[in-house]
Amino acid sequence: MLFKLLRRKDTTVITIYLVLVILFIIPSLISPVFRTSRNFSNILHQAASLGIVSIGQTFIVLLSGLDLSVGSVMSLTTVLCASLMKNNPAAIFSTVLLCLAAGAGIGFLNGFLVSKVGISPLIATLGMMALIQGVALQIRPYPGGYVPRSFGEVITGNLYSVPVPAIILVLVIVAAIIILRKTVLGNYIYATGGSEENARLAGINIDLVKIFAYTICGLIAVVAGLVLTGRIRSGDPLVGTSFPLDSITAVIVGGTPFAGGQGGVEGTIAGALIIAMLSNMLNLLNVSSFYQYIVKGLILITAVVIYSLRRK
Amino acid sequence: MISLSQREIKDEAFLQGARFGDIIQRLGVYFALLLLVVISGVLSPPSVSPTHLLNVTRQASALGIVGMGQTFVIMTQGIDLSVGASLTLIEILTAGMILGRGEMVLPVVIFCLGVGAFIGLINGLGVAKLKLSPFVMTLCMMSVLTGVYLLYCGGSPRGKIPDALRFIGAGRIGNVFPAAIIVWVVVITVAFIVLRYTTFGRYVYSTGGSPRASYLSGVNVDLVIIIAYVISGFCSALAGVLLAGYIGTGSLTVGTGYELNSIAAVIMGGTTFSGGRGGVIGTVGGALVITILFSLLTMLGMPHSGKLMAQGIIIIGMVSLYAKRR
């Protein structure tokens, strides 16, 4: 893959991975706690749900859109799981299917509103965010409930000493890379994101492309929500609040420009890891969480400024 | 710079025949407002008493003022997500710096409005000069400002507002007319005059309609964009000062929801994201619709969840009505 990247002269992805490696090495040298395997697995657990949802978000940003409803969808997933699975392992499968269907439905609606009705993605997904947040709060006004022990244990457990969330993350990445790089849909997404007008003139059904992308994003948000449910092992109607903006940050830091059409999930995943690792590092260094807001904002702005200078 | 895309040419042609549609769009929000008031009146007669309506209008004034600034930004094809955070920052700063001293009101208010304008200036410079996407630039600003106000107050805001400022935020002139509404009306009037009758106002419309064409006609597009963000920062700061007067002390949650609600108010009012169309009068209606809607739902005893669902459906619904004209 590395050779392919070099041949494409797409140095953005390489740069972002270099930053990731540096961010990994420095705290490893400073902090003995950081370099414990326990902490690495902690970071992976933290990064998994953000990484997964950011991959869905990448599909949308590639189309020069954005999806603010992913956080509400994740919250909805946790409350649905906590309300429907309860203590009954037999209900796991049907609940997961229901959640996936709900996510796909919400994503489809987003796509429909953006493409067929013609509402700007910001407003459409903003309205959807409020709507789904309301539904989640209606189902469970306060955090609570629980999921079957086995569900939580499988999702937070290890398979051959690799954390399961990391495995799910890798599966989602691989699926996303295949869709984006090897299928017609992927080509259409890049083409539509690059120039809608040109894509339309080339005979691409851009409405359908958008609907597919938003549906995929909704589905992936549910997967992220399921991973989160496994970690908190209960339902929380507000657990997803920070994910829409964090996932957009991960996508942008990962080198997919807000204008769409270039970039991809390879960079996004590094972006998500950088965000998770930074907050882990700042926590270990006892930096007040107040500073973390500032750091997050500054990192995003730095990344965007560097990208915009490089593209000039 | 940006090349003249086919979409823009289409938009230009579209603009010619858009006058009638514009009027409908501008009036649509007032029709919705009337409908909401009638529904409130039917469901609960006391809710349409002048006292209550004045009260709701006072509640809407902070959102309305933030919306004024947001209108300028959205007209230039931008967006300002930092309004909520800068409102909270200014509210906490005002309370924390005045500390109940009456003689400090004027200097602190002037300082805080200056801070607001400065935040807008940075946003504007980022968008216009560094060519950052407005969403990303103001998102960063939101994050940074959140950190700043948390650090300033250490997580627990304090402070006391002297009576003079409390009167402007919460008082009533002659025990009837809320003073905050007057502030809002002044802002509306100034914004209306600036947008309609000044060269800068025309530049805002033309920059939003087509930055490229404006640039070629000699408009300093960057400056127009920067000033739009400065206005937005100033308006959020003004709303923050007003809310400090209303609450009487610092609050960490005062600005929550303002970024999204102000955008919703602007869009409901008929200003479009593609820029160049709309105006402040629609936004006034949008702010009133959102506030009255929430007040009505509260009166009906609807839980927070129901309010959110209604808000989502109404935003999508109203904007869909406009969008059909695409």
The predicted-structure confidence for B72-111, as pLDDT tens digits, reads as follows: 999 998 999 999 999 999 999 999 888 878 788 889 999 9
Assigned domain for B315 exists = no
Instruction: Name the average pLDDT for chain A.
Output: 87
A294 and B144 in contact by Cβ < 8 A? yes
Q: What proportion of chain A, given as a percentage, has pLDDT over 70? A: 96
Find the helix or strand (DSSP H, E) in which A162 lies: strand A162-163
Confidence grade of residue A194 (pLDDT, cut at 50, 70, 90):
confident
Confidence grade of residue A20 (pLDDT, cut at 50, 70, 90):
confident
Note the pLDDT tens digit of each residue in B144-183. Answer: 999 999 999 888 888 888 888 888 888 888 778 888 999 9
Indicate which of A72, A120, A196, A197 best probes the interface with B, i.e. most B CBs within 10 Å of its own CB: A120
B287: closest CA of chain A, how far (Å): 16
Q: Is the pLDDT of residue A290 over 90?
A: no
**CATH 3.40.50 for domain A46-284+291-311:** no
Average pLDDT of span A44-50: 87
Q: Is the pLDDT of residue A76 over 70?
A: yes
State whether residue A287 sits within 8 Å of chain B by CB.
no
pLDDT of A289: 80
B267 and A123 in contact by Cβ < 8 A? yes
Q: Is the pLDDT of residue A66 over 80?
A: yes
- Between A and B, how many residue pairs show a Cβ–Cβ distance under 8 A? 142
Distance CA B35, CA B39 (A): 6
**Structural domain boundaries enclosing B86:** 56-284
Distance CA B202, CA B199 (A): 5
Confidence grade of residue A215 (pLDDT, cut at 50, 70, 90):
very high
B315 and A123 in contact by Cβ < 8 A? yes
State whether residue A217 sits within 8 Å of chain B by CB.
no
Assigned domain for B46 exists = no
B131 and A129 in contact by Cβ < 8 A? no
Average pLDDT of span A211-218: 95
| Residue from B75, B284, B268, B309 nearest A119 by CA | B268
Assigned domain for B307 exists = no
Confidence grade of residue B23 (pLDDT, cut at 50, 70, 90):
low
Average pLDDT of span B230-249: 93
Q: Which residue has the higher pLDDT, A105 or A9?
A: A105
Distance CA A249, CA A299 (A): 9
Q: Nearest chain B Cα to A292, which residue?
A: B147
Q: Is the pLDDT of residue B323 over 80?
A: no
Where helices occur in chain B by DSSP H, the ranges are 6-16, 19-43, 50-75, 83-98, 105-128, 134-153, 163-170, 179-197, 199-209, 211-216, 221-247, 258-268, 280-299, 304-323
Instruction: Name the average pLDDT for chain B.
Output: 85
Q: Nearest chain A Cα to B141, which residue?
A: A297
User: Of A165-174, B251-260, B298-307, which one has max mean pLDDT?
Assistant: A165-174
A130 and B312 in contact by Cβ < 8 A? yes
Assigned domain for B269 exists = yes
Residue B126: list chain A partners with CB under 8 A.
301
State whether residue B137 sits within 8 Å of chain A by CB.
yes
Number of domains in chain B: 1
Q: Which residue ranges make up each domain of chain A?
A: 46-284+291-311
pLDDT of B16: 47
Q: What Rg do the C-alpha atoms of chain A give, in angstroms?
A: 19
B7 and A197 in contact by Cβ < 8 A? yes
Q: Nearest chain A Cα to B123, which residue?
A: A301
Confidence grade of residue B313 (pLDDT, cut at 50, 70, 90):
confident
Distance CA B301, CA B308 (A): 13
B263 and A135 in contact by Cβ < 8 A? no
Q: Is the pLDDT of residue A59 over 60?
A: yes
| Residues within 8 A of B (CB atoms), A 17-56 only | none
DSSP states of B237-290 as a string?
HHHHHHHHHHHSS--SSTTTTHHHHHHHHHHHTT--TTSS---HHHHHHHHHHH
B263 and A129 in contact by Cβ < 8 A? no
Average pLDDT of span A10-23: 80
Q: Is the pLDDT of residue A216 over 90?
A: yes
State whether residue A298 sits within 8 Å of chain B by CB.
yes
Residue from the list A126, A258, A290 with its beta carbon closest to the beta carbon of B133: A258
Lowest-pLDDT range of A26-40, B111-125, B172-186: A26-40
State whether residue A156 sits within 8 Å of chain B by CB.
no
A297 and B147 in contact by Cβ < 8 A? yes
pLDDT of B294: 86
Assigned domain for B142 exists = yes
pLDDT of B55: 87
Q: Is the pLDDT of residue B15 over 90?
A: no
pLDDT of B324: 55
A309: closest CA of chain B, how far (Å): 8
B324 and A118 in contact by Cβ < 8 A? yes
Q: Nearest chain A Cα to B325, which residue?
A: A118
Assigned domain for B294 exists = no
| Residue from A108, A261, A118 nearest A196 by CA | A261
Confidence grade of residue B3 (pLDDT, cut at 50, 70, 90):
very low
Assigned domain for B226 exists = yes
Q: Is the pLDDT of residue B234 over 80?
A: yes
State whether residue A119 sits within 8 Å of chain B by CB.
yes
pLDDT of A10: 62
Confidence grade of residue B287 (pLDDT, cut at 50, 70, 90):
very high
| Residue from B189, B187, B190, B168 nearest B179 by CA | B168
B151 and A291 in contact by Cβ < 8 A? yes
Q: Is the pLDDT of residue A11 over 80?
A: no
Assigned domain for B47 exists = no
A123 and B132 in contact by Cβ < 8 A? no
